Structure 1
């Protein structure tokens, strides 16, 4: 395991990667009104592109995670930074549905799979002692929330001050900052204790690890719960600004709401990581999904005011990414650390299928009904189902995983 100084440097680099990558994407909802107006799109067109982004992110995540497990995160992060910058720049000329789906959907989805949790967690779990892994993952996940807190008002300010097209070019330049952060994470991976590699090629090793995981009921239930997490947070993150605008609230209220989600998520995610080191992680997940359903119900039923929006954002923010360190912590308890990047990516794929449906259905049902009401109530119902799915999950090493713990 790392010395304290080296560990702090690793966590700083990993947190910076997640903060920048997640921070930029959390402001995409502000581009929905100006881009749809400029190109004459429906909301479904923009929502489908971002839904595709989440789906591509989920499909690619097990492979980028497996590459990081096997060869280190350096090249994966370099590729992700380049794809991120290219995708943002090409969004400025994406005047058709196909072009937008290729830039905002395909390229940015691939970029996010290379620059977020599964890749950086594959390093952290190797470098951090088992007793502190949950806390370290909570701290790193909280950095994503700090990135949202910082980047959401920055992106809205860029759009208001420069216009949506120059704002995308500025964000593309910011994405290149991911490139130099690849080096310290790769050095940390090389310095961590070596783990045995499965025989055969990477695809065979992935298939063997996934088959072992899929045989465990707890793994399948985690995937079900994470599907709901993706549906809820991406629907809210992308469609909340438009929802508030439809109800006569200003852009400042929407910007404040997304910033508050990011701010309170710092505390919520870090707290989840801390509690996960002492309490049952599945039980904490049950509580999070139940609380999300209660918060959304109150938000839909109460009068919509700037105060109610702020309270909703603060409460949802505390619950926003708190599932990330807990879910990954359960995976470590079940399967050890050798294949964490790949298995985390596999569970995350389920999250992103939910993300795709949340953002796309939000746009589709709005265009069909003129309201987001059906989707709001669907998020409530799914939250209750996710809580029920996590109740039977158990934290115990799976058969066949002992030698790789």
Structure 2
């Protein structure tokens, strides 16, 4: 049976999971574009900025198990949508930051927490649950590959906005892009209706 025919009933779920993963990872991996103008403008050191990204990584790592447990209790859709909203809030806080605290909360805590709800662990769980076992490894490869597209798309957009209009407009562009995570999470959340094997 052709792969597309097998996947047709679950395509909205898989596309939603792929877009959510693409945006969450791509925007995160492109934050370095703003490091120099941001630190210079709001008078924080580069080590302060990288500390915020370290907090982001710690929050992401520590909160993945609770995020997974919450998906079992409440379903994937509410957790992914909450993560998307936190991502938007984190980027918005960064775009309006005037000091270290805003960067630490926005880039560190909020985006780190969001990644636990929207990045690879959740997206791969959604993809694995949505498809039959016979095509699972292929689908996981496709969704994982989609996650790599994020940096390819968001980095040039962020760079153009940053160089042309300043880092705040660049981050505002990222906020607009991150809004697309909400409908993506909504569609990926249809996996809650797929019965467990």
TM over 0.5: yes
Unaligned runs of 5+ in 1: 196-405
Task: Determine if the alignment matches structure 1 residue 61 to structure 2 residue 97.
Answer: no
Contiguous gaps of at least 5 residues in structure 2: none
Match of 1:137 among 140, 144, 159: 140
What does residue range 161-172 of structure 1 map to in structure 2 within 5 Å? Answer: 161-172=164-175
1:48 matches 2:51: yes
Q: How far apart, in 2, do the equivalents of 1:79 and 1:122 lie?
A: 17
1:70 maps to 73
How far did residue 165 of structure 1 move?
0.7
Runs (4+) of structure 1 exceeding 3 A deviation are none
Higher relative contact order (CA 8 A, sep 6+): 2
SS at match of 1:179: helix
TM-score, reference length from structure 2: 0.90
2:176 corresponding residue in structure 1:
173
Q: Paired residue for 1:188, among 181, 187, 191?
A: 191
Asked whether the 8 Å contact 1:127–1:189 carries over to 2, the reply is no
1:23 is aligned to 2:19: no
Does the CA contact (< 8 Å) of 2:17 and 2:123 recur in 1? Answer: yes
Is 1:88 the counterpart of 2:97? The answer is no
Computing the radius of gyration from Cα coordinates, the structure with the larger value is 1
- How far 1:81 sits from its partner (Å)? 1.4
**Root-mean-square deviation over aligned CA pairs:** 1.7
Partner residue in 2 for 1:100 = 103
Task: Report the CA distance between 1:36 and its aligned residue.
Answer: 1.4
CA contact (8 A) 2:158 2:173 kept: no
Q: What SS does the corresponding residue of 2:96 show, helix, strand or coil?
A: coil
Q: State how far apart, in whole Å, the 2-side matches of 1:33 and 1:121 are.
A: 34
User: How far has the Cα of 1:115 moved from its partner?
Assistant: 1.0
Q: Contact 1:68–1:122 (CA<8 Å) still a contact in 2?
A: no
1:34 correspondence with 2:37: yes
Is residue 17 of structure 2 the alignment partner of residue 14 of structure 1? yes
Q: C-alpha separation between the residues in 1 aligned to 2:110 and 2:141?
A: 28
Report deviation, 1:3.
4.6
Alignment partners' CA distance in 2, 1:3 and 1:67:
29
Please report the TM-score for the alignment, with normalisation by the length of structure 1.
Answer: 0.45
Cα distance, 1:120 vs structure 2: 1.9
Conservation of the 8 A alpha-carbon contact between 1:30 and 1:156:
yes
What's the CA shift for 1:48? Answer: 0.3
Counterpart CA distance in 2 for 1:160 and 1:131 is 47
Q: Aligned partners of 2:36, 2:152: CA distance in 1, in Å?
A: 21
Aligned partners of 1:70, 1:122: CA distance in 2, in Å?
A: 15
Question: Matched residues in 1 for 2:169 and 2:60: separation?
Answer: 25
Question: How far is the alpha carbon of 1:92 from its aligned partner?
Answer: 2.6
Aligned twin of 1:113: 116
Per residue, is there more helix in 1 or in 2?
A: 2
1:163 shift after superposition? 0.4
Give the CA deviation at 1:188.
Answer: 2.4
TM-superposition CA deviations, 1:263-311 (whole Å, max 9, x none):
xxxxxxxxxxxxxxxxxxxxxxxxxxxxxxxxxxxxxxxxxxxxxxxxx
2:184 and 2:11 mapped to 1: Cα distance?
14
